Amino acid sequence: MRQAALIVAAGRGTRAGGDLPKQWRPVAGRTVTEWTLSRFSHMDEIALVIHPDDRAAAAEAIGALPVRLIAGGADRAASVRAGLEALTAAAPDVVLIHDVARPCVPRAVIDRVVAALETVPGAAPGLPVTDALWQATPEGRVGGTARREGLFRAQTPQGFRFRAILDAHFAHPGGAVDDVEVARMAGIDVAIVAGAEDNLKITGPDDFDRAARILETMDGHTLRQRI
């Protein structure tokens, strides 16, 4: 299968703090975007969807990697659609849609998603919920508990047969929480594969330090030499 990675990096990431959107901030010696792109350097094609104001920062992050830059839209769904549309000229068999703010995704997670797409039209990594779940009252008190059986924490990359997810996105009315929801509304069967605790999404200021620790204990030094 010809494989493409679609990295969504057009957001502003205001919850992460700082003077720059989180994808352009440094972590463990490289920007978040550089680390994320490096995780998919083995793919047949990489497309990076960016805010129009970020072209210079993106060009620097790409370096020598053959990455296609695509202007994003008003929200994440519009950015994904723009990226998918840009890939149609030489359409891949499968596409992995990934949040740029997950720079620590292990190669094993990526491989599991790709392997699943040999037999199913959609696949995404997830982690089973193991903590107790509370229901809160309007006053911020514990009002009850919720069952956690069968619940998973969603991660990316979320992979799909290309034509199926392209059609699903252009038919979707909007408001989906992720690409799996878009796919399911179009009737696409999505398998859950094992995610990883290290595949964190950088959201708040403290996440940068955690991401740096993970990268340093994964293959960070090797990646720096290769980029």
195 close to 99: Cβ distance less than 8 angstroms? no
* Distance of alpha carbon 191 from the chain centroid: 17
| Long-range pairs, 65-68, Cβ under 8 A, ≥24 | 65/37, 65/38, 65/41, 65/227, 67/37
Tokens of 107: 């190669």
Q: Residue 16 to residues 19, 21, 23, 50, 73: CA-CA distances in angstroms?
A: 10, 8, 10, 18, 21
Tens place of pLDDT for every residue, the chain, 227 residues? Answer: 999 999 999 987 666 656 789 999 999 999 999 999 999 999 999 999 999 999 999 999 998 889 999 999 989 999 999 999 999 999 999 999 999 999 999 999 999 999 999 999 999 999 999 999 999 999 999 999 999 999 999 999 999 999 999 999 999 998 899 999 999 999 999 999 999 999 999 999 999 999 999 999 986 444 444 44
Give the position of tokens 């998603």.
Answer: 113
Angstrom distance (rounded) from CA 185 to CA 180: 9
Contacts of 86 (CB under 8 A, 6+ apart): 47, 68, 70
Tokens of 206: 């403290």
pLDDT digits (tens, 9 = 90+) for 204-217: 999 999 999 999 99
Tokens of 145: 């508990």
